[in-house]
Chain A
Amino acid sequence: MSGTWITTRAWLLMLPLLVVMIAVIGWPLVDTVRLSFTDAKLVGTEGTFVGFDNYAKMLGGSNFQRAFVTTAWFAVVSVTAEMVLGVLAALLLNQQFRGRTALRALMILPWALPTVVNATLWRLIYNPEYGALNAALTQIGLIDSYRSWLGEPGSALTALIIADCWKNFPLVALIALAALQAVPRDITAASLVDGAGPFNRFRYVILPYLAGPLLVALVLRTIEAFKVFDIIWVMTRGGPANSTRTLSILVYQEAFSFQRAGSGASLALIVTLLVTVLAVAYAALVRKAAGAS
């Protein structure tokens, strides 16, 4: 009896939130699905039903394939680099040394910075006329003259990945650092007594403790990286010659610049689907990892 009452009360308390969530997430989602089967414009015509035309057009176009490859490359490289850097930074910050607290606090700064501010800063660093990167590299003799990092298709995407890594590796480091605190001291001490070297200690003693939390970080970062938009929009707007145009930028152009709400919605749903597939796969991994430990 009291159990039912508690359940009922819980639902009652959640009701306002549920209503709001259905209003701002559920309904627009349903409407987007409807929109994606029409040829509606953003302003003006309501559009008529066109079946799977939008999906066929979007998936079949060379733009989508190219943007997909760009996005996947961006996500894989930046997330890998962030994971490696994050774990290394966490291991370092887990050591005893003077100024550790200050360093830990400093490390969070890039992550706390709004993405657009970060992008603007890196644009200044990469500036071809007076950028700090050009100055530094010329002064240590690595390059002869100033270069246009964001103006060359070969370097623009890499430059964006570096900027994105700088901003996001602290999140991984933070999660890894928290996990490191949970590693029991007696086990690391015991492995030391047993003569395990630094690498073996990391591989067999510490890493198992990190695996779960790192997987969570991996999920979060991959999904975020797959949706990347703001940092690219500020730094290159998809240029030069569309070499940094990711799926999200394509969605923006289609739906808002060209005002084709119908095909824009279908493209957005395709991206959502891709991200969902990633999320589900990772969720399965996390569950497996949790079960194993």
Chain B
Amino acid sequence: MSSGGTKAAAKAAAGAPMDMSTAARKRTDFSHTAHHREASKEAETLKLLEVIMLKSIRTALLCATLAGVSFAGHAHAETTLNALFMAQAAYSEADVRAMTEGFTKANPDVKVNLEFVPYEGLHDKTVLAQGSGGGYDVVLFDVIWPAEYATNKVLVDVTDRITDEMKSGVLPGAWTTVEYDGKRYGMPWILDTKYLFYNKEILEKAGIKAPPKTWDELAEQAKVIKDKGLLATPIAWSWSQAEAAICDYTTLVSAYGGKFIDGGKPAFTSGGGLDALNYMVTSYSSGLTNPNSKEFLEEDVRKVFQNGEAAFALNWTYMYNLANDPKESKVAGKVGVVPAPGVAGKSEVSAVNGSMGLGITSTSKHPDEAWKYIVHMTSQQTQNAYAKLSLPIWASSYEDASVTKGQEELIGAAKRGLAAMYPRPTTPKYQELSTALQQAIQEALLGQASPEDALKTAAENSGL
């Protein structure tokens, strides 16, 4: 998955000090914890600052980088695990800290240092640390990276560590998140896809009885809302030049029955791949889509939807409970959620696999403790306890009242959406392909190229 968080992360960071001060009283290593408490107080801007200033220095002189990052390696005096997470969407930073505390309480001999970066920095930070000899034991990875990580030996193969109980208990679709070439490189942790959120009040005012079942129906309903003057531009998407745009595009590709790669060659320039981009361009140029979508990340979509300025929005699971929170949102209680629509004759619903997993890096000196930590974080018990912002990977959790209570509508959408999850292309050159596609989408939206030409250029630049 992919997200550009500001508010959620800042909120999480603000919530963290309380948790950490409790922890500080319980631990003897006070100075160390206090240091972390200070660190957790930093707002997201400052976190961005740290990550990006590092990057900028690195870019100024590549050579300085190669020496610089080698200082980033950590020495291990005792069993300390360094774990890298993201500071937005899905589980909040506070949730991850609380889950981790549960682990360290049960395993007092293991310490876990947590680091949170924005999604946009997760891949590069993992790879850079690896390129300079390591630093992290456990890393969060997106469903699109196992091919690359496995090929470049960033993650270790954990196929043999996975027990039969795990194999049978976890939803079959979730395993695709961590698989490449028949092997498993971690445990699925965040099971996520993009849903169609809608504002019940606006639909009611427009006289619409039920949310759309097809993408064409979505356009028709948006047109009704626009024509009645309820909203000028009723649909919000995350089409910024980032991975977020690819997630929306993939959802549409799956609806139109398209393919990214066929026989190792790009196959998105015609058929479903082209239909998907055509739909985006039509929706944009006809004024049904908020034109600012082309600079939105998911958090921007959430803000627009929460302010009641969108009738429809495509977004991840986490938006459901946040948009229904009266402290956060003006549309609390009016949030509807269904699986993303399908296309008549081609699909019932559509969905992108936006799941993420936890893996052990090949440079970790403590793979056993790291695995123990991963097992804790992905356990049914842990996941059920924090099921508000991210849904569990375990099949039986979806029948568990403690999980479903208060979010029955989301669970209903999840059962159908998660089953239809469509993968983004599995290739070690994914980053290049994605960058080329992001450019194609923006060029087509801006009218700089026809969707067909833009996709052809992307295919040429995709590195495939």
Chain A positions within 8 Å of B, measured between CB atoms, are 23-25, 27-29, 31-32, 41-44, 114-117, 120, 128-129, 146, 148, 150-153, 227, 229-230, 233-234, 236-242, 248-249, 251-253, 255-259, 261, 264-265, 268-269, 272
In the complex, what residue of chain B is closest to A247 when comparing beta carbons?
Answer: B59
Answer yes or no: B120 CB below 8 A from chain A CBs. yes
Chain B residues, CB < 8 A from A253? 435
Chain A residues, CB < 8 A from B295? 128, 148, 150-151, 236, 239-240
**CB <8 Å contact, A248 and B152:** no
Complex alpha-carbon distance, A153 and B184, angstroms: 42
Complex alpha-carbon distance, A120 and B295, angstroms: 14
In the complex, what residue of chain A is closest to B242 when comparing beta carbons?
Answer: A237
A254 to chain B, nearest CB (A): 10
Answer yes or no: B55 CB below 8 A from chain A CBs. yes
Answer yes or no: B385 CB below 8 A from chain A CBs. no
Instruction: Take A230-B53, A233-B52 as given contacts and tell me if A25 and B63 are in contact as well, using a CB distance cutoff of 8 Å.
Output: yes
**CB <8 Å contact, A227 and B60:** yes
**Extra inter-chain contacts (6) besides given A44-B153, A117-B45, CB under 8 Å:** A44-B151, A117-B49, A128-B292, A233-B55, A258-B431, A264-B62
Choose the segment among B26-34, B100-108, B441-449 that binds chain A (4+ C-beta atoms closer than 8 Å): B441-449
Choose the segment among B126-134, B215-223, B405-413 that binds chain A (4+ C-beta atoms closer than 8 Å): B126-134
Answer yes or no: B137 CB below 8 A from chain A CBs. no
Q: Which of A233, A264, A269 lies at the interface centre, i.e. has the most chain B CB atoms within 10 A of its CB?
A: A233
Q: Can you list the 6 inter-chain pairs with the closest CB atoms, starting with the nearest?
A: A239-B241, A151-B295, A28-B63, A268-B62, A128-B292, A32-B63
**CB <8 Å contact, A259 and B55:** no
Instruction: Take A43-B152, A241-B446, A248-B60 as given contacts and tell me if A236 and B431 are in contact as well, using a CB distance cutoff of 8 Å.
Output: no
Answer yes or no: B384 CB below 8 A from chain A CBs. no
1-59 of chain B: CB within 8 A of chain A: 45-46, 48-49, 52-53, 55-56, 58-59
**CB <8 Å contact, A259 and B152:** yes
**CB <8 Å contact, A236 and B152:** no
In the complex, what residue of chain B is closest to A153 when comparing beta carbons?
Answer: B446
Complex alpha-carbon distance, A120 and B47, angstroms: 12
Complex alpha-carbon distance, A229 and B463, angstroms: 25
Q: Which of A32, A117, A152, A240 contacts B62 (CB 8 A)?
A: A32
Chain B positions within 8 Å of A, measured between CB atoms, are 45-46, 48-49, 52-53, 55-56, 58-68, 120, 123-124, 127-128, 130-131, 148, 151-154, 240-242, 291-292, 294-295, 300, 303-304, 307, 309, 429, 431-432, 435, 438-439, 442-443, 446, 448, 463
Chain A residues, CB < 8 A from B48? 116, 120, 234
Complex alpha-carbon distance, A241 and B435, angstroms: 10
In the complex, what residue of chain B is closest to A233 when comparing beta carbons?
Answer: B52
Complex alpha-carbon distance, A146 and B373, angstroms: 48
A-B contact pairs, 6 of them (CB 8 A): A28-B61, A116-B48, A146-B292, A148-B292, A229-B59, A233-B55
Chain A residues, CB < 8 A from B240? 237, 239
Complex alpha-carbon distance, A146 and B45, angstroms: 25
A232 to chain B, nearest CB (A): 10
B81 to chain A, nearest CB (A): 21
Instruction: Take A32-B66, A259-B127 as given contacts and tell me if A241 and B292 are in contact as well, using a CB distance cutoff of 8 Å.
Output: no
**CB <8 Å contact, B294 and A240:** yes
**CB <8 Å contact, B442 and A29:** no
Instruction: Take A117-B45, A151-B291, A251-B62 as given contacts and tell me if A238 and B241 are in contact as well, using a CB distance cutoff of 8 Å.
Output: yes
**CB <8 Å contact, A151 and B292:** yes
Complex alpha-carbon distance, A265 and B52, angstroms: 20
Complex alpha-carbon distance, A27 and B64, angstroms: 9
Complex alpha-carbon distance, A114 and B126, angstroms: 25
**CB <8 Å contact, B152 and A242:** no
Complex alpha-carbon distance, A154 and B127, angstroms: 34
**CB <8 Å contact, A129 and B448:** no
In the complex, what residue of chain A is closest to B48 when comparing beta carbons?
Answer: A116
**CB <8 Å contact, A256 and B127:** yes
Complex alpha-carbon distance, A161 and B319, angstroms: 34
**CB <8 Å contact, A240 and B446:** yes
Chain A residues, CB < 8 A from B65? 28
In the complex, what residue of chain A is closest to B123 when comparing beta carbons?
Answer: A257
Complex alpha-carbon distance, A23 and B63, angstroms: 11
**CB <8 Å contact, A229 and B60:** yes
Chain A residues, CB < 8 A from B292? 128-129, 146, 148, 151
**CB <8 Å contact, A148 and B124:** no
Complex alpha-carbon distance, A259 and B430, angstroms: 11
In the complex, what residue of chain A is closest to B440 when comparing beta carbons?
Answer: A241
Instruction: Take A114-B49, A128-B295, A268-B61 as given contacts and tell me if A256 and B66 are in contact as well, using a CB distance cutoff of 8 Å.
Output: no
Complex alpha-carbon distance, A241 and B58, angstroms: 24
**CB <8 Å contact, A229 and B241:** no
Chain B residues, CB < 8 A from A28? 61, 63-67
Chain B residues, CB < 8 A from A236? 241, 295
Q: Which of B120, B124, B448 lies at the interface centre, i.e. has the most chain A CB atoms within 10 A of its CB?
A: B124
Chain B residues, CB < 8 A from A115? 53, 56
**CB <8 Å contact, A241 and B241:** yes
Q: Which of A25, A43, A114, A268 contacts B130 (CB 8 A)?
A: A43
Chain B residues, CB < 8 A from A148? 291-292, 294-295
A20 to chain B, nearest CB (A): 11
Instruction: Take A28-B67, A41-B152, A43-B154 as given contacts and tell me if A257 and B435 are in contact as well, using a CB distance cutoff of 8 Å.
Output: yes
Chain A residues, CB < 8 A from B294? 148, 151, 240
Complex alpha-carbon distance, A155 and B443, angstroms: 15
Complex alpha-carbon distance, A264 and B58, angstroms: 12
Complex alpha-carbon distance, A24 and B65, angstroms: 9
**CB <8 Å contact, B53 and A31:** no
Instruction: Take A151-B291, A258-B431 as given contacts and tell me if A230 and B52 are in contact as well, using a CB distance cutoff of 8 Å.
Output: yes
Complex alpha-carbon distance, A146 and B292, angstroms: 10
Complex alpha-carbon distance, A237 and B297, angstroms: 12
Complex alpha-carbon distance, A24 and B295, angstroms: 39
In the complex, what residue of chain B is closest to A150 when comparing beta carbons?
Answer: B295
Complex alpha-carbon distance, A272 and B53, angstroms: 19
A54 to chain B, nearest CB (A): 12
Complex alpha-carbon distance, A75 and B152, angstroms: 38
In the complex, what residue of chain A is closest to B461 when comparing beta carbons?
Answer: A63
Complex alpha-carbon distance, A227 and B151, angstroms: 33
Complex alpha-carbon distance, A121 and B431, angstroms: 29
**CB <8 Å contact, B435 and A25:** no
A167 to chain B, nearest CB (A): 14
**CB <8 Å contact, B59 and A251:** yes
Instruction: Take A251-B59, A272-B61 as given contacts and tell me if A116 and B309 are in contact as well, using a CB distance cutoff of 8 Å.
Output: no
